Amino acid sequence: MLQHPTIASRVSLLAGFFGLAAGVLLAAPSASAADTGTQGNQTASAPPRPATLFLIGDSTVKNGSGKGDGGLWGWGQVLQSHFDLNRLVVENRALGGRSSRTYLTEGLWAKTLDQIQPGDYVLMQFGHNDGGKLFESDRPRASLPGNGDDVREGTVVMTGKHQTVHSYGWYLRKYIAETKQKGATPIVLSPIPRDQWREGHVVRAGGDYGQWAKDAAAQAGADFVDLNTIVADRYDETGQAEVQATYFTPTDHTHTSEAGAKLNAACVVAGIRGLNDHDLKQFLLPPSNEPAARLDFGVAEPEAGFTGLNEAVAYSDEHGYGFLNTSKLTFPSGDRAGSVSSDAEFMLSIIVPDRNHLVRVTFGSPTRPSATSVECELRRRMTDEVRLQAGQFETKEFLVNTRTKVLPHGKQVRLKPREEESESVAWDSRLSLRFYGENPSVAKLEVLPAPAVPTVYLLGDSTVADQYVAPWASWGQKLPRYFGSNAAVANHSESGETIAASWSRGRCDKILYSVQPGDWLLIQFGHNDMKSKRDDAVQRYREDLRRLVVAARERGAAPVLVTSMERKSGIEQDTLGAYPQTMRDLAAEEQIPLIDLHARSRELYRVLGSRVSDIFQDGTHHNDLGAEMLAACVVDGIRANLPGLAELLTDAEPVRPQHGR
């Protein structure tokens, strides 16, 4: 039987740990379950409810429908990416055109208050709509200026209804008091500045709504973030011309662009970080421009800038890092360095933001020979084996992409149940690294931001997706080894998926929101798409692919179509119908690169001959060895058809059939 020199069939520690952690009972996958994208029967207990961060305010917090209508965004629409989604969910209840008064009188606050539970948080920002008319005009929404208890009685002309109008500060104090009564924590924000300038400086709200918000918070015993000042300082530092060109549109001096919303959200987070001993800070992810971790193992005095770790610290959210299995860990030390070592594979998890990370690992042990390989997240193969003698050390770098299900308009990717359970490691706010081999040993570990590196996005079905339990595997999870520290691989594929379902579940939106000019998008569908009974199934498949190709191009990314590999029974008789040729035709029509994995896989199977079963797990899916060989086919296609992407490939040795001879 063919065997990869460093891969053995095993149930991965990753699947075992995360299955148990989620209360999931994992069964061995069956062929029929795998073909439909469901690996085993699972039962799960309900996870603890995350805390909720409610946002109330106006259109500067949530603009329009919250989907970036007209290129305008509120900062609340992009705030979730700063928080650990597993522990805190941002619920944006702001609504355009509302003032501190009308958010109450229109019943919006009552609906929000009804949802608040003990342990939740409420961020409130009003002021932009609190001026104007009290009772007249078509928008009678003003509150009384200031923070007093005076009132004005009157009849709203539009409705003929009597209203008692209070001060701006009174409404804030009411929201604060009622939030506290529900056992939740209120935080008051001063309103963000408009794009209004005087003598080269942005106009601030320190003399009116900013001060009144601060006073109301102090009177009612709430924390206060001077968002107006934090943002204004950033605007002044940036300069009027760049602020207007980057953060606003030419015709709107109140509402921000997406870039402006991201800046303002970052300022909100900066304000939260500045609060003294506030427990909301525990849910924040590490700043995107700072290292997520720099760990020095087994030493009494760590290197400058590193955190020393010479004991088996179990993972906790409070630490932000830790080991997922601690029983067999040792921390030997020597004259020059120490290490963490084990007689068995071990895992380390670190809280990280949704981004690309440069991971720098120094391998080796001061006291024992070691042979160490690394997988990340859902068994993504990152390195070849590093074999060292006692006292030898070697450093390697590679890029890892992590993601969450957050979308910018307050929505989320609609994950399948198994993605929330046994595959949750692929979507959480953690970077999980698995070290395995003969006495796996690590001396140092750094997880650094990598904002400017190119990303290779993958989208497809189970034959591309990261498979969570060995020996099931796909070419997508073997691809990162070929790019090392030159490019990050972001695999958004999922078992059982079609191109149509990837649109409806938000997977395409997640990629399109994340992709940057110069990135690549490899798309492979067909195995599940061909199961449709619709008369126009092939045409819909083609149009859904074209839609994604066009959208990727509009964002400056390079789409690449990949025909599906054949099934085991398709060496001579094609089993995928019109779908591979449809993809070939679309690539030619759109003049984009094609990797013909369908043809390359059939040639691979012919070379293997009678041994072809050794690379399959069932009739469709592959094992580790088969996935390695298909990844080599994809890399061959990259070298042949994508010279720009080929420049990013490393000299990692591909796995070929002759390795098993």
- In this structure, the number of other CB atoms found within 10 A of the CB of residue 224 comes to 19
> Got the DSSP string for 107-154?
THHHHHHHH--TT-EEEEE--TTSSS-SSSSS---PPBSSS----EEE
Identity of residue 294 = R
The Cβ of residue 209 has, within 10 Å, a number of other Cβ atoms equal to 24
The active-site residue out of 252, 317, 574, 585 is: 252
Encoding tokens for residue 268?
A: 């909100």
**Residue 519 a catalytic site member:** no
Of 438, 425, 328, the closest CA to residue 379 belongs to 425
Residue 470 and residue 448: Cα distance in Å, rounded? 29
Instruction: Tell which phi-psi region holds residue 309, choosing left (phi > 0), alpha (psi between -120 and 50) or beta.
Output: beta
255 is catalytic: yes
Residue 429 contacts residue 350 (beta carbons within 8 Å):
no
First to last CA, the chain: 9
Which of these is catalytic: 4, 128, 166, 255?
Answer: 255
Distance separating alpha carbons of residues 552 and 533, to the nearest angstrom: 29
Q: Note if 252 is an active site residue.
A: yes
Among 4, 12, 35, 59, which one carries the catalytic annotation?
59
Q: Are 526 and 563 in contact (CB under 8 A)?
A: yes
Q: Verify cis geometry, omega within 30 degrees of 0, for the bond prior to 471.
A: yes
Q: Which letter does DSSP use for residue 426 in this model?
A: G
- CA-to-CA separations, 631 to 26, 85, 400, 568, 634, in angstroms, rounded: 27, 32, 18, 17, 5
What is the set of active-site residues?
Answer: 59, 252, 255
